[in-house]
Every structure is written in structure tokens, then in C-alpha cells.
Structure 1
């Protein structure tokens, strides 16, 4: 049965519409990542989606002149398969590990999904592309808030406090946590090679693993700890506070 040659050809208008649609759908997901201040944001998702759509279009229509050749077999999925595996390298660059905390997994997954959406658009599988975009946006916006509410009492927070090596500082900081009913799960101490610029005292790092169901209480404790004289700097999953020793102020970095 002869193969219809028309299925291997696409007009310039249809090609333009597919590429622009890929840019729009990828940009919608990228806007959420940009709004959440993640590394792979608006432009990254647009580029990934356009690139995936272009590769899919190339795979289907880019070799149409060889269809009539007797010994040539056309496989529209061959380039698409390389996109699915190759996009993992880009997603891996968005994953960061800081101690026991891993961030960027959701962004890496969104980049991978955007690549799949681009392939759908390039292949003309529009319903799947639109449905996937809606479900991804629901996952990033709606389910993200639901997940935080559900897991807020189960997740641990990592807090790193750099202090002057003086007696009683650990107990003072632990008391500040206890005053707000924040449970300390684990504490690790590490002596650094740094010294204070003012009096030459050694700097020690205290690594706290804490558990709380009230994030507002954690904010209060972070502020109280940062105001402690012996504290040099303070880091948590959400922010970093650096104390300027010369003038005694605290800066949010």
C-alpha cells in the first residue's frame, strides 16, 4: 500500500503555529518557576519547549525528500527519543544539594515535562500538550500549597549558626528554640579555620536539625538568634542572615 506523501509535509504556517504554541505553553510553566525564584525560569522553559518542538518537527518532516527512496525507512521517533534522554543533563544542573537538603528536583522535573510538551506540539498532538500543561500548572500552583500544608509538621529544617567559640553559647541558642516550642532533633558542631576580625576568637559552626509545625515561630527564633552577641551568621532553608560585626547590624542575603 503506497504511503501518502502529504503526511510527510507541513506548510510554513502550520510550522510557525506549532513553534509559537510550544513557546507559549513552555512559557506558562516557566512563569511559575520564575515567580518562585528558581534557577530554570521563564526563558529556560521557553527555550526547552521550542527546541523540543523543533526537533520533533525535524524528525517528522525534515527528511521528507527521502520518503520516496526505496531503501530508506522513516522513523519519526528517532530524534524525539534522544530529547527525552538528553534533557536529563539540563535538569540535573538545576538540582542542588546543601547538606541533607536537596532543592531543584521540581524544577528539573518541570524542564523534563516541558520537553515532552514541546515534542507533543511538534508532532501535532495538541490535546495532550494542552492537557499536560494544565496538569503541570495545577501541580505547581495548587498541589504545592496543599503539600506544604500537609507536610509542614513532618519535615525537618536545617539551620546552620556560626558563632564565637565561647562557653554557654550552645545552651543559649537551644533555649531560644525551646521558648518557641521548636524541637531540636539533632545538633552537630564543627570547628572552622576562621577567626573573628575583632578579637581573634575561633569561629564554630552549629548544625541544627529542627522540627516545627509553625513557620512563624521559626522566623521569630531566627531573628532572636541573629540578635545574639555571639552569633556571626545564620543560615536556614529559607534565608541567610549575615551579621556585620563592625556596626552590629544584620543583613538578609
Structure 2
């Protein structure tokens, strides 16, 4: 077996180690994604990493005079793959983190394939720390301040919707007025408000008790 690996230039012992290291590093990231039930999980991350490692090795082997001619196209290909997991849901964009993880996993695979094992291990540790601990930081920030969009619709009774802005201020929400329109005696307006979840709930509870409002989106 050893003679086949070392004697045949198709596969060397060094390349076997590179593939195993890629499986380990990308697998660790994939496990974290799998535990959070994300779109790209364990198998996807390992496949992306192995593909990047193989393309980089082939680029070095057959790219005489231009070692980056194959590897450089990995970045373009991963860009298309990452774009496929990004989608818009109502007023939120989802999948950006997953797309970034796919991008960095490909970079880790390329680093391993090029022989930069220390760099790939270091980046993997940083990525895992970011993926594990950053959600708690985000949750802490969101508990202190979050942004929501509100829409109010009511009958026009010789007054606009400016009076409702006072309710935002009472609830200690910082607001930005959006578009307001009137049609067939119905006036509607949108606002973007920033504040703590507690203050958002206070505002919503107050608005739900207003019988003059025909439609309230929050």
C-alpha cells in the first residue's frame, strides 16, 4: 500500500495528511453548523473543504509557470455557491452568515492544500470561537436595542398620523418616519423604531387598544 502511495505520483503521503486535516478542520465547523440546524451542515462543509484542497493541490501540480490558474477560480465558484443560500424573508435577509462560513471553509481548504497548516488551524479556531460566542453577544445587544418596522392604517378624520409619534416617544423608542399616504378616506403610514424589546412591547400593547386603528403591522 505504501509503495502504491509513494511510488505512484497520483497520491503522496503528504497529500493524504492534507485531506485528513481538511476533513478535521472543516468537519468541526460543519458540526457547529449542524447543531444550529443551518442550511450548510457537516457534509456540505467537508465537501467544500475537500474540493478546495484538491483543486489547490492540482493547481500546484499541473499549473506549470502559473500555480494559481486553477486555485484562483475557487473564489469565483464559491461566490456562486454562497449566493445560493442567501434569501430575503419579509424585511430580513437570511443566510449571510452561512454564505460567509462557506467562503471561509473554502479558504481553509485552499490553505491546507497549499501547505499552510498552521494558518488553517489558527483560522479554524477563530471561526469556531466566533460562531459559538458571537450569538450570545448579538442576543445581548438585541436585548438592549432592536429595530422594528411599524405600519398604521386608520380612517382620515381631518388629522394625520403625527399624533402617534408621541406614543413612540412615550415608549422611549427612537423613530424614523417613512412614507405616508391617503386613499379613499384611509390614511396609512410607516415608521422604523429602535429601542429595547420591553419598550417595543409597551408600544404595541398600547396601539392594540386603540379602536380607531383599522390595521396595525408590527
Structure 2 length-normalised TM: 0.66
- Structure 1 residue corresponding to 2:176, chosen from 157, 169, 185: 185
| Alignment partner, residue 10 of structure 1 | 12
| Alignment partner, residue 246 of structure 1 | none
For the structure 1 residues 209 and 156, does the alpha-carbon distance in structure 2 shift closer, same or farther, using more than 3 Å as the test? farther
3-state SS in 1 of match to 2:78: helix
Q: Which runs of 5+ in 2 are unaligned?
A: 1-5
| Alignment partner, residue 43 of structure 1 | 40
3-state SS in 1 of match to 2:64: coil
Deviation, structure 1 residue 205: 4.5
| Alignment partner, residue 216 of structure 1 | 198
User: How far apart, in 1, do the equivalents of 2:138 and 2:58 lie?
Assistant: 43
| Alignment partner, residue 25 of structure 1 | 28
Listed as ranges, the matches of 1:39-188 within 5 Å are 41-43=38-40, 46-60=43-57, 73=64, 77-93=68-84, 94=86, 96=88, 104-123=95-114, 125-143=116-134, 145-146=136-137, 157-167=147-157, 170-171=161-162, 173-188=164-179
3-state SS in 1 of match to 2:169: helix
User: How far apart, in 2, do the equivalents of 1:215 and 1:19 lie?
Assistant: 42
Moved over 6 A (4+): 4-8, 150-153
For the structure 1 residues 147 and 224, does the alpha-carbon distance in structure 2 shift closer, same or farther, using more than 3 Å as the test? same
3-state SS in 2 of match to 1:142: helix
Q: How many equivalent residue pairs?
A: 209
Any idea what the Cα deviations from partners look like across 1:50-94, whole Å, max 9, x if unmatched?
A: 224224224425996xx7xxxx82765433211112222233341
Structure 1 length-normalised TM: 0.59
Deviation, structure 1 residue 115: 1.8
Any idea what the Cα deviations from partners look like across 1:22-64, whole Å, max 9, x if unmatched?
A: 54133145247x46xxxxx253574255224224224425996
3-state SS in 1 of match to 2:161: helix
3-state SS in 2 of match to 1:211: strand
RMSD of the TM alignment (CA)? 4.3
Contact 2:59 2:71 in 1 (8 A): no
3-state SS in 2 of match to 1:232: strand
Q: Which runs of 5+ in 1 are unaligned?
A: 36-40, 193-200, 236-253
Deviation, structure 1 residue 181: 1.6
